[in-house]
Amino acid sequence: MKYEELVKTIVNNVGGKENINSVTHCVTRLRFKLKDESKANTDTLKNTDGVITVMQSGGQYQVVIGNHVPDVYSDLMAYAQIKESNSVEEDQSNKDKNLFNAFIDTISGIFTPVLSVLAATGMIKGLNAMFVAFGWIANTSGTYQVLQAAGDSLFYFFPIFLGYTAAVKFGVKPFVGMVLGASLVYPNIAAVPGATDPLYSLFQGSLFESNVHIEFLGIPVILMSYAQSVIPVILAVYFASKVEKPLQRMIPDVVKTFLTPFFTILIVVPITFILIGPVATWAGQLLGSLTLFVYDLSPILAGILVGGFWQVFVMFGLHWGMIPIAINNLTVFGSDPILVLSIGTPFATAGVVLGIIIKTKNKKLRALAIPAFISSIFGISEPSLYGITLPRKKTFFATLAASAVGGMIMGWLGSRVYLIGGLGIFAIPAYIDPNADGLTLGFYGAIIAIAVSFFLGLILTLTIAYDPKIDSEENKEDNLKPDTIVSDFEIASPIEGEVMPLSSISDTAFSSGLLGKGVAIYPTVGKVYAIGDGVVSTLFPSKHAIGLTLDNGIEMLIHVGMDTVNLNGKYFDAQVAQGDTVKKGQLLLTFDIESIKKEGYSVETPVIITNSDQYLDVVESEITLAKQDFTLLTVIN
């Protein structure tokens, strides 16, 4: 696995595999749902190479990785052997969440799996609209029809996709969720209102006046247009989760496989058409009208608020609550004026980061900032946010200011988004009104806002927002003379005892060197000491093994005995806790050698450098009897 060491560190510091309920990922971060977040080593993770930062929000423990997060996620799933599920049935931590966090978590869990495909198909639709607007193709041509089918199919059948992801989220059989979504867009049902005259009308003279075209067992069915809808299918699947569970308990095992989905679908589909669908649609219409009402009060103020605070929303996961509103507005009104107000943010971020690249003399910062700048241009601003702008504070506020001005311009000129498309520069076609004759003022407003956000962020950074002196201390390491650079690290023994080759251990995972290079010690004194200043990166609950991350970057594991995990902490006494900062020579752990041996366990103890692949070599010393101050290993840098 390419990211094996990073994955091991992440898993160990979120509390181990047993503390993970589920994990998903978005474009830049791993989103864990942990049983107990207090067990996570946040400070250690934040200082881990390969981790940009850690955020705790919306009931999720978010480890920000960067653009290569899908590869890290894949390795993590393989290493931790976690099934790809984020069912609330499996997540007992939901009980401890407040309603707001639970809502954000639910929305993100449903939309995250489909977000990349949503962006991809939206880009195809946007390009198709752009080709027509520029007169390159006609909307009656075969080329247009094929591209529209590729881009619009997900949006038209969106309830089916959300049926699947909502089913996973709510603990329903995924194909049952898909059937519920498919029933909402079933062609023969969808065509009924236009093919027949209404039987009668309900709620005449009110906001909810509706024609009735069909009945189910004599009950009126109000048919709505559910293509591209969001709320009805989510509520239907949630209701199905409440139906399916008691059916699972009631139906005999021998027929449960097919009778449970049979009765679930038979109950939920009619109720969805009769009650859930109409009520959810009306609720969606009200929600869309409310957002537009707020926007109509002052588009400029709305632009300043949404644009200016968008990165704050992203930091705390609050932006997830706006995505279904935007999709609902697109479904009900054909466009959304709210989400578009945030599009200046990645470009403002890119401008700020470019200013830092120009001004800084710190080689390490520039090397980090260049890929972050490119990422921001393509709409992924988290690497810039967490790795560059936020730690320097003023540059973060410069980003917010530039984004607010961009949002204000879009609000003023009436920019709207007409589909959920790509990110960054790939989102530009989404601002083209497909029903307009050519490009509108709103489209030009979006382009102007993007340019202003970028250049304002750049100017603020070059003038007042960034002082390169704040990074000068970090640059000292780059200015060291060659003869002052430390190339080797001598590692003292953490345990007193007889030194043996690592290959002599019976456990092949250690003896083969798969877990890292090192030696084994047969202890004569049951004490483990810190061999340098650093952090306790890992302390197993059974206390039989402890991991250290030293200040010089070396990561070490001391594993007392073979299979001693089975003792569940018996005969072990930890003097520190996971996440503690320790000093060289500090007592970390004590253990009773004789009692462990009487239980039938070997006390041979591997002492390994777990990140040895990051160094040229790890060389064993020639000593046969280790004392606390004796050099045990030499790490060649």
Determine, yes or no, domain membership for 105: no
Backbone angles phi, psi at 535, to 5 degrees: -130, 145
**For the chain, what is the mean pLDDT?**
82
Which residues, at least 6 apart from 206, have a Cβ–Cβ distance to it below 8 Å?
A: none
Determine, yes or no, domain membership for 396: yes
Distances, alpha carbon 173 to alpha carbons 127, 163, 165, in Å: 36, 10, 10
Task: Say how far apart CA 355 and CA 351 lie, in whole Å.
Answer: 6
Tell me if 344 sits within 8 A of 452, measured CB to CB: yes
What are 247-263's pLDDT values in tens digits?
Answer: 988 888 788 888 999 99
What are 476-529's pLDDT values in tens digits?
Answer: 444 333 333 334 678 888 999 988 888 888 776 677 776 778 899 999 999 999
Task: Say how far apart CA 600 and CA 545 lie, in whole Å.
Answer: 18
Q: Which tokens in the block code for residue 338? A: 């709210």
CA angle 18-23-28, nearest 5°? Answer: 135
Q: Would the pLDDT of 345 be above 80?
A: yes
Burial of 218 (0-12, 13-18, 19+ CB in 10 A): exposed
Whether 617 and 536 share a structural domain: yes
Whether 173 and 250 share a structural domain: yes
Region 402-417: mean pLDDT is 94
Domain boundary among 277, 294, 311: 294
Whether 425 and 494 share a structural domain: no
Whether 566 and 425 share a structural domain: no
Backbone angles phi, psi at 588, to 5 degrees: -105, -40
Domain boundary among 262, 294, 326: 294
Report helix angle 323-333 to 277-297, nearest 10. 100
Q: What is the pLDDT of residue 154?
A: 84
Whether 74 and 192 share a structural domain: no
Q: Which tokens in the block code for residue 466? A: 């960034």
Q: What is the count of structural domains for the chain? A: 4
Tell me if 418 sits within 8 A of 334, measured CB to CB: yes
Which residues, at least 6 apart from 569, have a Cβ–Cβ distance to it below 8 Å?
A: 541, 542, 543, 544
Q: What SS3 state is found at 418?
A: coil
Q: What is the pLDDT of residue 437?
A: 79
Determine, yes or no, domain membership for 108: no
Q: What is the pLDDT of residue 58?
A: 59
Q: What is the pLDDT of residue 99?
A: 61
User: Of 136-150, 219-233, 399-413, 576-590, which one has max mean pLDDT?
Assistant: 399-413
Q: Would the pLDDT of 474 be above 60?
A: no
Determine, yes or no, domain membership for 407: yes
Looking up residue 56, the CATH number of its domain turns out to be 3.30.1360.60
Region 23-48: mean pLDDT is 84
Region 29-46: mean pLDDT is 87
- pLDDT category at 32 given cuts 50, 70, 90 is confident
Task: Say how far apart CA 440 and CA 305 lie, in whole Å.
Answer: 24
Name the least confident of 107-121, 213-227, 551-565: 107-121
Determine, yes or no, domain membership for 106: no
Q: Facing residues of 520 across strands?
A: 500, 606
What are 595-611's pLDDT values in tens digits?
Answer: 998 888 889 999 999 88
Whether 455 and 494 share a structural domain: no
Whether 215 and 274 share a structural domain: yes
Tell me if 110 sits within 8 A of 166, measured CB to CB: yes
Determine, yes or no, domain membership for 26: yes
Whether 302 and 290 share a structural domain: no
Q: What is the pLDDT of residue 238?
A: 93
Determine, yes or no, domain membership for 325: yes
Looking up residue 538, the CATH number of its domain turns out to be 2.70.70.10
What are 441-456's pLDDT values in tens digits?
Answer: 999 999 999 999 999 9
CB environment 47-58: b (16+ within 10 A), e (fewer) = ebebbbbbbebb
Determine, yes or no, domain membership for 28: yes
Domain boundary among 294, 326, 349: 294
Task: Say how far apart CA 94 and CA 111 lie, in whole Å.
Answer: 18
Residue 562 belongs to what domain range?
A: 488-636
Pick the residue with more confidence: 548 or 102?
548
Task: Say how far apart CA 338 and CA 421 lie, in whole Å.
Answer: 15
Whether 352 and 251 share a structural domain: no
Whether 427 and 394 share a structural domain: yes
Whether 269 and 309 share a structural domain: no
HSE, side-chain direction, 13 A CA sphere, residue 213 = 14
Name the least confident of 242-246, 381-385, 464-468, 632-636: 381-385
**pLDDT > 90 in the chain, percent:** 25
Q: Would the pLDDT of 94 be above 50?
A: no
Task: Say how far apart CA 492 and CA 500 lie, in whole Å.
Answer: 15
Whether 165 and 278 share a structural domain: yes
Positions annotated as catalytic residues are 26, 559
Which helix (H) or strand (E) element contains residue 537? strand 534-539
Q: What is the pLDDT of residue 96?
A: 47
